[in-house]
């Protein structure tokens, strides 16, 4: 019986944290810009007001003011910033691989 209670609590905490992580991803994505160098997603750097880092080429630059730190705090998901950025970086690499596949298919189709 005790194990069942622990499992239910653990599952509830996991579900709650997943919702917070998804919210953090959405906030960061909404506040992100496109890198001028490689056109990949550039996320706002937490603890700054106008600095961004490209997830593809790692270029750091200053641009439009963002409020990502406050937005994450207001939505109770500030502790998920690093995980959310890692998630977005994983999405970006999958998208880049998909684009490479599309380029290969296009070049094959030309022949």
Task: Provide the CA 62 distance to its chain's centre, in angstroms.
Answer: 19
Of residues 60 and 12, more confidence is placed in 60
pLDDT score, position 62: 96
Q: Cα–Cα–Cα angle for 31, 12, 68, nearest 5°?
A: 15
pTM of the shown model: 0.76
Count CB atoms within 10 A of the CB of residue 54. Answer: 22
Q: 14-63 pLDDT, tens per residue?
A: 898 899 999 999 999 999 999 999 999 999 999 999 999 999 999 999 99
User: What is the reported pLDDT for 94?
Assistant: 65
Which residues is 61 bridged to in the sheet?
52
Nearest residue to 85 (alpha-carbon basis) of 61, 50, 49, 58: 58
Tokens describing residue 82: 């690093």
Using CA atoms of 64, 95, 29, 65 in order, give the dihedral in degrees to the nearest 10. Answer: -10
The one-character DSSP state at 51 is E
Give how many domains the chain has, as a whole number.
Answer: 1
What's the alpha-carbon Rg for the chain, to the nearest Å?
18
Q: Assess whether pLDDT exceeds 60 at residue 108.
A: no
* Domain hosting residue 99, numbered range: 2-110
């Amino acid at each position: 019986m005790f194990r069942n209670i622990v499992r239910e609590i653990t599952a509830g905490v996991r579900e709650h944290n997943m919702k917070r992580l998804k919210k953090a991803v959405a906030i960061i994505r909404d506040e992100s810009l496109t890198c001028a160098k490689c056109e990949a997603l550039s996320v706002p750097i937490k603890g700054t007001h106008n600095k961004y880092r490209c997830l593809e080429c790692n270029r750091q630059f200053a641009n439009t003011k963002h409020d990502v730190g406050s937005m994450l705090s207001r939505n109770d998901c500030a502790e998920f910033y690093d995980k959310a950025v890692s998630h977005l970086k994983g999405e970006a690499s999958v998208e880049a691989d998909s684009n490479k596949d599309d380029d290969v298919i296009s070049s094959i189709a030309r022949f």
